[in-house]
Amino acid sequence: MSALWQGCLADTDYFETRSRRGHDYGVWVTTPPGYDPAATRAPVVYVLDGNWAVGMTAPLIVTQRDPMQRIQPYIQVSVGYAGEEARHWERLRNRDLVPPGEPVAKEFVDAVEMALQRGLMTREEADAYLAELRAPRADAFLSFLTAELHPRIEHDYGTAVSGHGLFGYSYGGLFGLYAWLTGSALFESIGAGSPGIVSEDSQVFAQLEKMGDSLPAAKLHLTVNDRELLGDLAVYQNLTKHTATFLHRLTARGGAVTSAVLRETHVTGLQASFLSYLRTCRAL
């Protein structure tokens, strides 16, 4: 990293990689203070939406030395977009984080149109944003994480064999649910913050029904924000409502799930959600 970035994100390396499908990703690897793999190997926590999330989550690596509530040692790997694609991370995440076949809810289209009317998007940007939602490939991105990126991280950073985790927020949270429901063997805990279950016909409900009572053993931690529920945006109201429905259906089956309601908005809730995941699933 440059001296500037190294000063902002201590103990962090950055590299870029191209997936087998030809997509370019930026990867930030933040190691614990004084990490020595020859002494003790730490597991990995993968954090999605790296272009947005790394600055709010990577500094929290110091929680591993918090005397008030210690967190298990972990290496954080934040995954985002690189090169020209980094400029378009907001729409490219739709391609990578949304499950195949996920319906595009009317409330979400309305939210995009509202952004267009307020001058926050051009028509070209809005159309490109929605186009990615109509052909999502979370399955391909999950394969990239587990079969392409993780072996490199394991080799280069001397990680532990087990104990790995995944954290995602919004559509990243939806991806977290998708990864949990597929039974991915890599992750032993998953944090899903304000998961983007915007439609009542979401694929995660179909996946859950298909599994019956044969649920994954990995820990799952869900969070939502009170301002999403109590605010006046239909897209966020639906998100919290459908997340609660998913939670209730899961607990009725005896699923290994925990949850929390945070005092945040959708935009400000990412860091609080990540901390909630660490405290709940990765405390010593």
Q: What is the pLDDT of residues 143-153, one digit of tens each?
A: 999 999 999 99
Residue 23 gets the label, from left (phi > 0), alpha (psi -120 to 50) or beta, of: beta
Query: Can you tell me the mean pLDDT for 185-197?
Result: 97
First to last CA, the chain: 31
pLDDT band at 122 (very low <50, low <70, confident <90, very high): confident
If one compares 135 and 52, the residue with the highest pLDDT of the two is 52
DSSP assignment, residue 283?
B
Whole-number Å distance between alpha carbons of 37 and 31: 10
Q: Pairing state of beta strands 24-30 and 75-81?
A: antiparallel
Domains, in order of start, for the chain: 3-99+136-281 (3.40.50.1820)
pLDDT value of position 7: 52
pLDDT value of position 108: 74
Whole-number Å distance between alpha carbons of 282 and 44: 11
Written as six digits, the tokens of 145 are 């994480």
pLDDT value of position 129: 76
Whole-number Å distance between alpha carbons of 192 and 204: 13
Written as six digits, the tokens of 240 are 């919290």
Q: Which range among 23-27, 51-55, 92-96, 130-134 shows the weakest confidence by mean pLDDT?
A: 130-134
pLDDT value of position 2: 46
Query: Can you tell me the mean pLDDT for 257-271?
Result: 97
Does position 126 have pLDDT exceeding 90, yes or no? no
Query: Can you tell me the mean pLDDT for 16-44?
Result: 93
Written as six digits, the tokens of 58 are 């990577």
Summary mean pLDDT of the chain: 92
CB 73, CB 40: distance < 8 Å: yes
Q: Report the percent of the chain where pLDDT is more than 70.
A: 97
Query: Can you tell me the mean pLDDT for 125-131?
Result: 80
User: Which of 172, 155, 152 minimizes the C-alpha distance to 95?
Assistant: 172
pLDDT band at 107 (very low <50, low <70, confident <90, very high): confident
Does position 4 have pLDDT exceeding 60, yes or no? no
Cα Rg of the chain (Å, integer): 18
Written as six digits, the tokens of 190 are 């998953």
pLDDT tens, position by position, 166-185: 999 999 999 999 999 999 99
Query: Can you tell me the mean pLDDT for 116-123?
Result: 85
- 3-class secondary-structure state, position 15: strand
Does position 264 have pLDDT exceeding 60, yes or no? yes
